[in-house]
């Protein structure tokens, strides 16, 4: 842990990840204010999250390609752009303009994630890469969890105009990131361009397995986090119960990310991913079949197991596409985000038909199918062969 906490660049990127993801957590807290300001329905106000999250997701592969071609010196600029556009939201006087700002802000988030992941990869020692990436991803999870608390505090004091204050952390952290990238060697961009253009066969089947598992895991995590409060409200519980329960799911995800990253460095990523998938089946069954106070324990299990493999899959994709690691980051994270967003209304429709309890239980079937996909994940020796084939690019990334 000391080698990570003493790495100033890595800590700055972690702070940037926490900051950019905190804006996602702020959006739901703004809903009551936006509904009153623009006289919106619940369905219409949800378009704000769709505009922000959808744009952030689908733009990531494109920004990953740009990172592979031109490098990552503008990671800080992406964060600053998100902060500036988000801070203006509280001052617009029309709903179409609000959606336009949400789209613009989502572009900044879409740019930051593949660029930041590529930067982090270049900073991590090979022997602790899974653990290091897990710590970085956890910073984003903490940001999402902190977002509602930040929003409640600011909006209770200043109302919707409090969005102006949200520009400060993004500008400060983004500016510092830009400053840290200023000493980048002149020859790096050309070296990246040569590496990207070099012929190297892509392991498409292995990459498809990685993306498939990531999409499935994102679906499960998003659905359980989204519908836990509604399900427990239907069961007659109050917000004093299902609020902390939802928070427990999020925080367990953060802890699981770090724990599984450490295990993966010792036992291999494929082994850890398969183990978490197998254990997720009884965890889902216990959570859905026995609601009530025991759910805090089973929620920890689901959060720990379902969200913990994201950084491991991200690293797998980066090493399989070492010459196009930015594109790999954008594909894995972008498609994961999209699937998570689409999965919520799908399970909502299933819940309308058969009830939320059975809708959540259907994820047992999804997880079992994902175990079959995960069986085809590449082993460590196969991943290392692809990484070694692009070792010159590894040296380049470490200069960035």
Model pTM above 0.75: no
Instruction: Spell out the residues 6+ positions from residue 165 whose beta carbon is closer than 8 angstroms to its own.
Output: 87, 154, 158
pLDDT in tens, 169-199: 999 999 988 887 665 444 344 444 444 444 4
**Given this model, what pLDDT does residue 243 score?**
77
**Given this model, what pLDDT does residue 369 score?**
96
**Given this model, what pLDDT does residue 60 score?**
86
Please report, in angstroms and rounded to a whole number, the separation of the first and last CA atoms in the chain.
22
pLDDT in tens, 38-84: 887 766 777 887 788 888 888 888 888 888 777 777 889 999 999 99
Which one, of 330, 339, 336, lies nearest residue 309 by Cα?
Answer: 336
Rg (CA), the chain: 21
Long-range CB contact pairs, 271-275, < 8 A, 24+: 272/309, 272/312, 273/213, 273/309, 273/312, 273/313, 273/374, 273/377, 274/371, 274/374, 274/375, 274/377
Token pair for residue 335? Answer: 């498609």
> How far does CA 325 lie from the centroid of its chain?
17
**Given this model, what pLDDT does residue 196 score?**
46
Write the DSSP string, 184-247: --TTHHHHHHHHHHS-----HHHHHHHHHHHHHHHHHHHHHHHHHHHHHHHTT--HHHHHHHHH
Report the alpha-carbon distance of residue 108 to residue 177 in Å, rounded: 14
Provide the 10 A C-beta neighbour count for residue 58.
17
pLDDT less than 50: residues of the chain: 1, 184-199, 391-400
Token pair for residue 290? Answer: 């026995």
Instruction: Spell out the residues 6+ positions from residue 339 whose beta carbon is closer than 8 angstroms to its own.
Output: 215, 216, 218, 219
């Amino acid at each position: 842990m000391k080698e990570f906490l003493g790495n100033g660049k890595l800590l700055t990127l972690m702070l940037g990840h926490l900051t950019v993801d905190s804006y996602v957590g702020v959006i739901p807290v703004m809903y009551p204010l936006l509904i009153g300001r623009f006289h919106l329905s619940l369905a219409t106000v949800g378009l704000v999250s769709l505009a922000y999250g959808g744009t952030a997701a689908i733009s990531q592969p494109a920004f990953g390609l740009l990172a592979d071609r031109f490098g990552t010196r503008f990671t800080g600029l992406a964060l600053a752009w998100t902060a500036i556009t988000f801070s203006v939201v509280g001052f617009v006087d029309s709903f179409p303009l609000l959606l336009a700002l949400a789209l613009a802000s989502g572009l900044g988030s879409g740019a930051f994630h593949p660029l930041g992941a590529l930067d982090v990869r270049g900073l991590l020692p090979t022997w602790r890469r899974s653990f290091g990436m897990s710590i970085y991803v956890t910073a984003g999870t903490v940001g999402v969890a902190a977002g509602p608390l930040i929003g409640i505090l600011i909006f209770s004091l200043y109302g919707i105009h409090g969005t102006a204050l949200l520009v400060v952390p993004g500008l400060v952290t983004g500016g510092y990131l830009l400053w840290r990238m200023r000493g980048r060697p002149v020859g790096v961009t050309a070296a990246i361009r040569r590496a990207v253009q070099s012929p190297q066969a892509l392991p498409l089947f292995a990459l498809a397995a990685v993306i498939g598992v990531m999409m499935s895991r994102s679906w499960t995590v998003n659905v359980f986090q989204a519908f836990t409060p509604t399900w427990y409200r239907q069961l007659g519980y109050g917000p004093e119960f299902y609020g902390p329960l939802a928070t427990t799911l999020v925080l367990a995800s953060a802890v699981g990310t770090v724990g599984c990253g450490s295990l993966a460095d010792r036992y291999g990523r494929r082994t850890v991913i398969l183990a978490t998938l197998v254990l997720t089946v009884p965890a889902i069954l216990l959570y859905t079949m026995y609601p009530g106070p025991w759910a805090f324990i089973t929620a920890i299990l689901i959060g720990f197991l379902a969200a913990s493999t994201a950084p491991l899959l991200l690293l797998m994709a980066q090493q399989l596409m070492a010459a196009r690691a930015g594109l790999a980051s954008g594909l894995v994270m972008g498609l994961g985000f999209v699937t998570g967003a689409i999965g919520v209304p799908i399970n909502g429709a299933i819940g309308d038909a058969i009830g939320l309890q059975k809708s959540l239980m259907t994820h047992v079937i999804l997880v079992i199918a994902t175990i079959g996909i995960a069986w085809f994940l590449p082993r460590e020796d196969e991943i290392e062969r692809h990484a070694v084939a692009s070792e010159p690019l590894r040296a380049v990334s470490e200069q960035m």
